[in-house]
Amino acid sequence: MISANKSKAQTQNPEVLPQHVAVIMDGNGRWAKARGLPRTAGHKKGADALRRMLDNCSKSGIHYLTVYAFSSENWKRPSDEISDLMQLLQHYLHQELEILHEKKVCLRFIGDLSRLDLEIREQIAYAIKLTEKNRDFHLTIALSYGSRQEIVGAAKKLAKKVLDGSIKFEQIDEELFSGNLDTAGLPELDLLIRTGGEKRLSNFLLWQSAYTEFYFSDTLWPDFDESDLIAALDDFVKRERRYGTTG
Ligand code: IPE
Ligand code: IPE
Ligand code: MG
């Protein structure tokens, strides 16, 4: 078992652990329902699980964590749940920002933030500015995020640059395209974990996950703890990533 830098696999090859992990933090509602609680109670516990996850990733030597907090499709949920989620996000940012900054976490957001209230957008802008030079850990929060919209957005940006003459049509390649996505500059995504038992991407990081390893956990996100992360990492280190070659 991988325990804080002591896995057998890691001892043999320190490069075998993922550098960049993403999580679809799913199952908050079911966690609450099972306890006869409102869905918001599950989202609150979900925020605690994110705090834990960040520390556990750090302990395991992972420096990039990208989490799916709210999808572009989640705007279709009842307005009460949306406003509870937004309040929770504001509360999380308010409570955690100084702590994250002390831990030298660089905070980043991906998604269509224009759909958020001005107050939250200002809070996010402040958090990004405060932590932009931090380099010990990179936490990216996908908020109002949809990967198809992101890809269409990148195509539009490139089309505009061709039209205004700042790039030539022939220059468009995978690297340039990647550089116009919200995730520009982040390293390749090594491992994607989805909690809550569903086995789908739900419009998350479609371009970025071309050669990502997937791990599906039945654990509901509020219950996801260090042992679940270790199980995911143990599974990851056993895999052979062939990228289309014969290995
Ligand atoms: C994930 O948990 C959090 C968000 C989508 C905001 P859910 O709210 O989807 O929880 P389940 O899937 O209904 O249990
Ligand atoms: C995906 O979960 C989005 C987040 C975890 C933020 P959903 O619960 O919205 O996904 P579906 O509806 O089960 O596909
Ligand atoms: Mg869900």
DSSP class per residue in 106-140: EEEEES-GGGS-HHHHHHHHHHHHHHTT--SEEEE
pLDDT tens digits, one per residue of 107-124: 999 999 999 999 999 999
Q: Is 89 in the pocket of ligand 1 (CB under 6 A)?
A: no
Residue 188 predicted with pLDDT over 50: yes
Instruction: Report the nearest atom of ligand 1 relative to the CA of 32.
Output: 14
CA distances 114 to 72, 73, 161, Å, are: 12, 15, 22
Mean pLDDT of 159-186: 98
H/E element, 56 = helix 39-59
Q: How confident is the model at residue 247 (pLDDT cuts 50, 70, 90)?
A: confident
Residue of 26, 182, 190, 228 marked catalytic = 26
- Quote the number of domains for the chain: 1
Q: How confident is the model at residue 6 (pLDDT cuts 50, 70, 90)?
A: very low
- Give the domain extent around 227: 17-146+190-235
Residue 220 predicted with pLDDT over 60: yes
Distance 26 CA to ligand 3 centre (A): 5
What pLDDT was estimated at residue 11? 39
What pLDDT was estimated at residue 120? 98
State the CATH number of the domain containing residue 53.
3.40.1180.10
Residue 9 predicted with pLDDT over 90: no
Task: Write the residue with the smallest CA distance to atom 3 of ligand 2.
Answer: 71
Distance 245 CA to ligand 1 centre (A): 37
- Cα–Cα dist 146/112, whole Å: 8
pLDDT tens digits, one per residue of 129-157: 999 999 999 999 999 999 999 999 999 99
Residue 153 located in a structural domain: no
Residue 125 located in a structural domain: yes
Residue 106 located in a structural domain: yes
Residue 43 predicted with pLDDT over 50: yes
Residue 10 predicted with pLDDT over 80: no
**Strands 64-71, 213-216: parallel, antiparallel or unpaired by DSSP?**
unpaired
Residue 3 predicted with pLDDT over 60: no
**Strands 64-71, 137-145: parallel, antiparallel or unpaired by DSSP?**
parallel
Residue 62 located in a structural domain: yes
CA distances 95 to 48, 111, 123, 209, Å, are: 12, 22, 12, 32
Nearest alpha-carbon partner for 74 in 216, 215, 222, 204:
204
74 carries an active-site annotation: yes
The pair of three-digit structure tokens given for residue 44, joined into one six-digit string: 């609150």
Ligand closest to 204 (CA) is: 2
Question: Pseudo-torsion of CA 46, 47, 48, 51, nearest 10°?
Answer: 120
What pLDDT was estimated at residue 15? 52
Mean pLDDT of 157-177: 98
Among 23, 28, 48, residue to substitute to test ligand 1 (most atoms within 8 Å of Cβ): 28
Distance 71 CA to ligand 2 centre (A): 7
What are the b/e assignments for 113-151, b being 16+ CB within 10 Å? eeebeeebeebbeebeeebeebeebbbbbbbbbbbeebb
Residue 55 located in a structural domain: yes
What pLDDT was estimated at residue 39? 98
Residue 27 located in a structural domain: yes
Among 26, 79, 84, 194, residue to substitute to test ligand 1 (most atoms within 8 Å of Cβ): 26
pTM metric for this prediction = 0.95
Ligand closest to 33 (CA) is: 1
Q: Is 222 in the pocket of ligand 1 (CB under 6 A)?
A: no
Mean pLDDT of 206-220: 98
CA distances 123 to 83, 120, 143, Å, are: 16, 5, 14
Distance 175 CA to ligand 1 centre (A): 33
Residue 159 located in a structural domain: no
Residue 176 predicted with pLDDT over 70: yes
Q: Looking at per-residue confidence, does 131 or 9 come out higher?
A: 131
**Strands 64-71, 191-194: parallel, antiparallel or unpaired by DSSP?**
unpaired
Residue 1 located in a structural domain: no
Q: Looking at per-residue confidence, does 165 or 10 come out higher?
A: 165
**Strands 191-194, 213-216: parallel, antiparallel or unpaired by DSSP?**
parallel
Q: How confident is the model at residue 7 (pLDDT cuts 50, 70, 90)?
A: very low
